[in-house]
Copies of this chain bind each other. A is one copy, B any other.
Amino acid sequence: MANSRFEYVKDFEQPDVLLPNTWIVVRIDGRGFHKLSDHYAFKKPNDRRALDLMNEAAVGVMKDLPDLCIAYGVSDEYSFVFHPTCQLFERRNAKLVTTIVSTFTAYYIHLWSKYFPSSSLQPPYLPSFDGRAVIYPSSRILRDYMSWRQVDCHINNLYNTTFWTMVLQGGMSNTDAEQELKGTVSADKNEILFKRFGINYNNEAEIYKKGSVLYRQYELEEPRSVHPPAEEEASPLDSKQSRSQQDKLKKLRRKAQVVIDHVDIIKDGFWERRPWILSNKPGTLPVEA
């Protein structure tokens, strides 16, 4: 082949396979969304249309990639989770991350006009996202990762809600509000909201307080420990399933509806009633009414 003289350059591509039997989290973040949200006049502190757009794009990703078992989104970021037994793209890092980033971007741009019908996209103000993969060796740590993001959601939303209420309803300057909030704890912010503005933070919409969690919907199960003995967990043999078994599971997962929930994922309850998320074994499809 005439091309062979130059083909040695392929030797410079370095393998990037992620360690087997570990959870893979791909987290993506909006690039320059601060400037972007100004340009397209997103509402403060939360723009419901922007969040719904994020969520629908994420549902699109979940449907395109049935290997994903759960996703969690807040603000302009989204985390997508692959099970330790996942063999998609032979677990190649760049392939997994770029596929998710690109698919998400494609949905986001494609769906934009549905959520922002009156402000069309104008280059160079095109929304885009960067991403990275991180691996976690156990379910315990994966759950701590998810908790980390939800706690972050809470902390940021309480701050933003208070800040923007002080500015928009209280007429304070950005600088003054920022200054007053410096060093405050949660209780202080709750009090500012309640005492000055009559706002009970607990009554804020769940989507703002809890973020959005996406998963495939099966019949909820009776709570039982989600932590099987270690020897059952992440059994390496699962990743050696026959191709046909894997395809069968993939089909089952495709059948399940992807739901968008705004609930606590820090406590055990969420995971105990939805054991299929950590086990990756499809549950019982809900009986349709």
Contact = CB atoms under 8 A, between A and B. Distances in A.
B110 A121 contact: yes
A263 interface: no
Among A6, A60, A97, A234, chain B packs the most CB atoms within 10 A around the CB of A6
Q: Which 5 pairs show the lowest CB-CB distances between chains A and B?
A: A137-B137, A6-B148, A102-B128, A109-B109, A94-B132
How many copies of this chain sit in the oligomeric assembly? Answer: 4
A216 B77 CA distance: 33
A129 B110 contact: no
B7 A130 contact: no
A228 interface: yes
B17 A14 contact: yes
Interface string A149-163: 001100100000000
A15 B14 CA distance: 9
B138 A234 contact: yes
Interface string A179-221: 0000000100000000000000000000000000000000000
Nearest to A145: B9
A19 interface: yes
Given A6-B144, A6-B148, 7 more contacts: A21-B141, A84-B137, A98-B129, A99-B128, A102-B128, A106-B126, A110-B126
A107 interface: yes
A139 interface: yes
A6 B145 CA distance: 7
A98 B99 contact: no
Contacts of A102: 31, 101-102, 105, 128-131
B109 A6 contact: no
A240 interface: yes
A60 B123 contact: yes
A14 B61 CA distance: 25
B132 A3 contact: no
Residue of A94, A127, A139 with most chain B CB atoms under a 10 A cut-off = A94
A285 interface: no
Contacts of A225: 229
A236 interface: yes
A64 B109 CA distance: 17
A234 B139 CA distance: 11
Give the one of A12, A102, A155 with max B CB within 10 A.
Answer: A102
Interface in A1-35: 1-3, 6-17, 19-22, 28, 31
